[in-house]
Amino acid sequence: MTKSYRLGDFCFQLKSSNRQLCDRIGSLLERDKVDGDDDPLSVIDIDAPLAIVSDWEEVVSEAEGLEIIRLIVRRALNRHHDYLWLDAATLVSPSGKTVLIAGPSHSGKSTAATALAFAFGWKILAEDVSLVEPKSKQLKTFASPLSLRAGSLERIRVATGVLPGPIVGSEWISISDHLAENSIDFRIDLAIALSVTDSNTDEPLTTDAVSAQAFIHPLLPLCNALHIDQGIELLDESLKNSLCFRVKGGSLAERLQFIRAQAGEPTPVQNTARRK
């Protein structure tokens, strides 16, 4: 039986003459519930050149072949072109709250999501790009492996005392053990918008409670809501009962404490973030 994998609603199998490489890549992905050679699944042949990639042999050999993960994730995202997507992590807290953490690149959303999952038992629906099927209004699980920037793992260890792992190929971490079991209705209980913070400065944590409408406006460049039918209405409906905050500055530990407190999770000390 051939192993099958899933990223969102994209189900696929891997094909390669290098079985060890296939197994290493597969160890980072979510296994589909059904394996089988006769299932009508997409087959990703990682030995074959792809039109979008030059010097494919060099790509395959780089980082023991694990650079291919990015191409697999890209292909999976392309299969969801008609979904609402947001540049955001979404998680489910231990008490069952759905939490969205949005922000541009380098804002720290993936670092925060990883810390919440590995250190505090939160479940990840999506770590980087969140996908919503417009007809069913379902927020899909998307088990893209983690690939954090240099220094992020150490910041998580310092903030929480936990070092996420195991690490495959010096960079990648599977989230399968920390993945939410099922897709859920797109109803957000807590929405956090992170700003990019200069890690070389000691900028204090500031938090600003905002309305759902005020939260959505800066979110528009980070999603495709303007380009799909009923996209804005879908965002409005999902956030209408949410607590919404803009968060700037602060250490990772302070950010985590604030997010956990607003989600109703116990924190070791009272949150003292300065409010605007």
Return phi, psi of residue 129, to 5°: -120, 120
Give me the number of domains the chain comprises.
2
Structure token digits, residue 252: 């990772």
Question: H or E segment at 139?
Answer: strand 138-139
pTM: 0.88
Last residue of a domain, one of 78, 106, 137: 78
Specify the higher pLDDT residue, 48 or 122.
122
Residue 221 has pLDDT above 90, yes or no: yes
Q: For residue range 79-98, what is the model confidence (pLDDT) as tens digits?
A: 999 999 999 999 999 999 99
276 contacts 208 by C-beta, under 8 angstroms: yes
Q: Indicate if 22 and 106 belong to the same structural domain.
A: no
Q: Indicate if 181 and 224 belong to the same structural domain.
A: yes
Q: Indicate if 9 and 131 belong to the same structural domain.
A: no
Q: Indicate if 28 and 132 belong to the same structural domain.
A: no
Q: Indicate if 237 and 126 belong to the same structural domain.
A: yes
Q: Indicate if 198 and 126 belong to the same structural domain.
A: yes
Q: How confident is the model at residue 40 (pLDDT cuts 50, 70, 90)?
A: low
Q: For residue range 158-176, what is the model confidence (pLDDT) as tens digits?
A: 999 999 999 887 788 999 9
pLDDT of residue 24: 86
Last residue of a domain, one of 44, 78, 112: 78
Question: H or E segment at 252?
Answer: helix 252-262
Q: Indicate if 228 and 114 belong to the same structural domain.
A: yes
Q: For residue range 64-76, what is the model confidence (pLDDT) as tens digits?
A: 557 788 888 988 9
- The boundaries of the domain holding residue 55 are 4-78
Give the span between the Cα atoms of 57 and 47, in whole angstroms.
8
Range with the lowest mean pLDDT among 132-136, 224-228, 260-264, 266-270? 266-270
Q: Indicate if 50 and 117 belong to the same structural domain.
A: no
Q: Indicate if 158 and 35 belong to the same structural domain.
A: no
Q: What is the mean pLDDT of the chain?
A: 86
Last residue of a domain, one of 61, 78, 95: 78
CATH of the domain at 186: 3.40.50
Give the span between the Cα atoms of 229 and 94, in whole angstroms.
33
Q: Indicate if 169 and 101 belong to the same structural domain.
A: yes
Q: Indicate if 50 and 92 belong to the same structural domain.
A: no
Q: How confident is the model at residue 51 (pLDDT cuts 50, 70, 90)?
A: very low
Of 179, 155, 176, residue with least CA distance to 166: 176
**What's the number of CA atoms in the CB half-sphere (13 Å) around residue 12?**
21
pLDDT of residue 276: 37
Q: Indicate if 202 and 230 belong to the same structural domain.
A: yes
CA distances from 16 to 10, 21, 189, 242 (A): 19, 8, 43, 46
